[in-house]
Amino acid sequence: MKKLAFILLLLIFSFNCVYGQANIVQNLKELLDSTPDLKAQIDKSLKLQDKKSYWHNKTSGDFVKFFEEWLVYNPVPEAPAKYIMPFDELANSEAGEILFNNNIFSSWFIAFVNANGEYLGTPASAATMGQWMSSSLVKMDDYIVPKGGFKTFNEFFLRPVKPQARPLDEEKDPSVIVSPADGSICQIYAEDLDVNFKIKRDVINIRQALNNSIYADRFIGGPVLDILLWFTDYHHFHAPVSGKIVGVGEYAGSYNYNFKNVNWYKDLAKHKRSCYIIETKEFGLVAMIPIGFWSVGSIVTEPKVKVGNYIKKGEELGHFEYGGSSILLIFEPGTIKFTQPFPARKTGDDGIPIKVKQKIGIAAKR
């Protein structure tokens, strides 16, 4: 136990002091050399992967090389998730989930995410910017380009949209609700407080999503919408309704939970998330939950989003940094009528295209 504590302290010290790309990868190599059990666990996890898996026949050496390449990868429009997708595949396998239950490795991975985020904020990350600017997948005519162009990938990823490209539907009608983000939207049914539903293969339920909020009972039996953002989407999110903020929470995800419980991944959301609960006259309570998947190092909430403050429909509430992300909207039962033909799905992986500020529903008692 003392050895584990020493290793963790060493990790925290080294990760806080040095964020250089080579140092992060070197730290992983040193961890595997100094922690044989971790190396064995990684090799075992890789060995158990299906023949169709990217990880089939890979070794711990390949594992290190994977992160070495990912760390300085300059995303391109055709393959923005080149490393995120195979990583997600491993992390969501049974063996991979147990690996991420290892506190030493998960601590290293958090530092890796931070280092990768720092790299994407350097001029070197803009090497593929020409491909993004000319890609039909991005529709750059919708965005504001700074004089001299984008200097880093992060700057491009957080590009502001032209107001006329995302007009606010029925701005003056408070009984109209709009999408909080660009993405793919679908409806997920949660029949009672603790019924599980899936977002990108992760088992979540309303109680967990709201982090056991005092308002959770109000949402029993209410509909759930999921807006899944892709890497090419506009990654700022906006208020879907006007109202008073009565709840705000920031949750780091299961990295902070009991790592001795190997079944944590069945009970808790893995990913970082925020939660805003908005009180409205027209819809009752509306919960908005931005979720960051794996490589979203940060969900940035605007300072104005505080309990007691009033927000207006369409105004920006925050943004996601690079990676996959999703937003849940949860409603009280009987409060909303959807005006879009949202498909009912068991997971949030498949929906219809939607734009931020686009009308998605009206108050049921309009």
Contacts of 294 (CB under 8 A, 6+ apart): 84, 87, 88, 91, 113, 270, 271, 323, 324
On whether the CB atoms of residues 222 and 265 are closer than 8 A, the answer is: no
Cα-to-chain-centroid distance, residue 130? 26
184, 295, 325, 326: the active-site residue? 325
238: annotated active-site residue = yes
Closest C-alpha among 335, 328, 248, 327 to residue 285: 335
Helical H segments across 217-318, by residue range: 264-267
Give the type of residue at 65: K
Are the C-beta atoms of 38 and 10 separated by less than 8 Å? no
List the beta bridge partners of residue 293. Answer: 324
Question: In whole angstroms, what is the distance from residue 341 CA to residue 5 CA?
Answer: 53
- Counts for the chain of helices (H) and strands (E), in that order: 11, 16
Interatomic CA distance for residues 249 and 329, integer angstroms: 15
Report the alpha-carbon distance of residue 108 to residue 121 in Å, rounded. 20
> Which among 88, 169, 182, 226 is annotated as catalytic?
182
State yes or no: is 349 an active-site residue. Answer: no
Active-site entry in 238, 254, 295, 319: 238
- Contact by Cβ (8 Å): 227, 353: no
Q: Which two tokens stand for residue 323?
A: 């990676």
Is 34 labeled as catalytic in the residue annotation? no
Q: From CA 58, how far away is CA 81, in angstroms rounded? A: 20
Instruction: Give the whole-angstrom CA distance, residue 177 versus residue 329.
Output: 11
The set of catalytic residues is: 182, 238, 325
